[in-house]
Amino acid sequence: MKITNTTNFRANLKENLDIVGDDKEVIVITRKDDKNILLISLEKYNKIIEEMEGLKSIVNNM
């Protein structure tokens, strides 16, 4: 997991997007107002949703 602030994220936008898109790494973008952002690839997001739905199915069948 990479942690960066908004200024550095913007200054290195392509590199950061490549880290998320190609390396499948997660980036936390910190903000002064403490409303931090988590950036993940669509592929990783879809896997998380798929796993959550699988867990919901297991719980519902109990």
Domain ranges of the chain: 2-60
Query: What's the pLDDT at 58?
Result: 86
Domain 2-60 class in CATH: alpha beta
Residue in 45, 10, 8, 47 with CA at minimum distance from that of residue 26: 45
Taking only the tens place, the pLDDT of each residue in 3-58 is: 999 999 999 999 999 999 998 899 999 999 999 999 999 999 999 999 999 998 88
Compute the distance between CA of residue 37 and CA of residue 6 in angstroms, rounded to an integer: 9
Compute the distance between CA of residue 7 and CA of residue 43 in angstroms, rounded to an integer: 26
